[in-house]
Amino acid sequence: MMFARVSVLGFALLLLCPPVSAAPSPQETHQRTASRRVFDGIGGGPPKGAWTVGVQGGYPWQTVRGLVGVGKRMAPIAELETALFRRWRPSLGLSMAWVDVPRFRLSGEVLLGWLIQTGAVKRLGPQGILRMRFSAPLGRIAPYLVLGTRHALLLDRRTVVSSSASVTTLEARHNWTGWATLGAAFAINDMLGLDVGMDWPWVDAPTISIPGFHLGIWIGGG
C-alpha cells in the first residue's frame, strides 16, 4: 500500500518535473531559467511575448499580479492587492529588467493605483509605487527580495458652515508605506511555479505593522 502511494507520488513528480538532461552550458542554463515564467512573476521584466499571472494568498495580504513582455525586458503590469479584503489597491504599471544575467536578475517597477481602505480608519487616494526586485535563479529555485516604497496622496475636504458663509478647504496629506518581501520561487515546469515569502510592510509609518506571509501560484507562457 505504502509502495503504491510512493509510486503514484513519484510518477506525478516525473510528470510535473521533466528530467534534466546532460549538464547544460551557462548559456543554456540562462535560457533554461529565463524560460521559466514563475521567475518573471517574482523577478519582473519578462522577455517580449512572455506572460505571467500569479495569485499570492496569505495573511494579511493577498495579491493578483500579471505581466506581459512587450519590449526588451519591459512589461506592463496589472496588480490587485488586498489586506483582509478591507484595504484594496488596484494598480497599473511598468516593469523593466535592468540586469539579467545567468544567475541574477534585477528589475525595477513603477505602478500607479488607487488606495481604498474601508472601515473605521478610512484611506482613499491615489498611490504611486516604486519597487526593486532581486532574484537569483538556481535551477528550479529562485530566492528573491522585493524592496518597495509606496506613496499615497490622501485628500481631505473640510466644510465649515457658519452664520455668514459655508467655507470648504481641501488638504492633501502624504502617506508612506515601506515594503520588503523575502521569499523563494520554485519552477514546477516552464509554465507553472510556486512561491513562498515573508512580507514586511510598514503601513502608515511610523506605526509598526505586523509581518505577513504568502504562498503563490504562477502560470505563464509565450
Partner 1 sequence: MRKLGFLPVLLVLSGCYNVDEGLYALDLSLDISIDPVFSDTGRLHLQAHHAWFGEAELRHPLGLIEAWEGGELSASHAVIEHTLLVPLGLGEGLAVFGFMDVDGDGVHCAVGQDGEPSGIVVTTELDGHSLALDLLLDSACLGPEALHPR
Site of interaction with partner 1 (CB under 8 A): 116, 122-125, 154-163, 173
Q: What are phi and psi of 53, to 5 degrees?
A: -130, 135
- Least distance in angstroms from the C-beta of 203 to partner 1: 15
* Closest of 152, 108, 105, 97 to residue 130, by C-alpha: 108
Alpha-carbon distance of 201 to 211, in angstroms, equals 7
Report in angstroms how near the CB of residue 152 gets to partner 1 at its nearest.
Answer: 9
Nearer residue to partner 1 within complex by CB, 91 or 181: 91
**Strand 166-187 relative to strand 123-135, pairing:** unpaired
Which residue, 138, 115, 106, is CA-closest to 42?
106
CB 27 to partner 1: min, Å: 51
Closer residue to partner 1, CB minimum distance, 4 or 161: 161
Least gap, CB of 197 to partner 1 (angstroms): 30
Nearer of residues 160 and 208 to partner 1, judged by Cβ: 160
Q: Which residues are CB-neighbours of 220 under 8 A, at least 6 positions away?
A: 37, 38, 40, 41, 46, 50, 51, 52, 53, 190, 191, 193
Rounded to a whole number of angstroms, the minimum distance from the CB of residue 130 to partner 1 is 22
**Nearer Cβ to partner 1 (4/172):** 172
Q: What is the DSSP letter of 164?
A: S
Q: Are 174 and 183 in contact (CB under 8 A)?
A: no
Q: Which is nearer to partner 1, 102 or 125 (CB)?
A: 125
CB atoms near residue 135 (< 10 Å): 27
Nearer to partner 1 by Cβ, of 5 and 122: the residue is 122
> Minimum Å distance from CB 208 to partner 1?
22
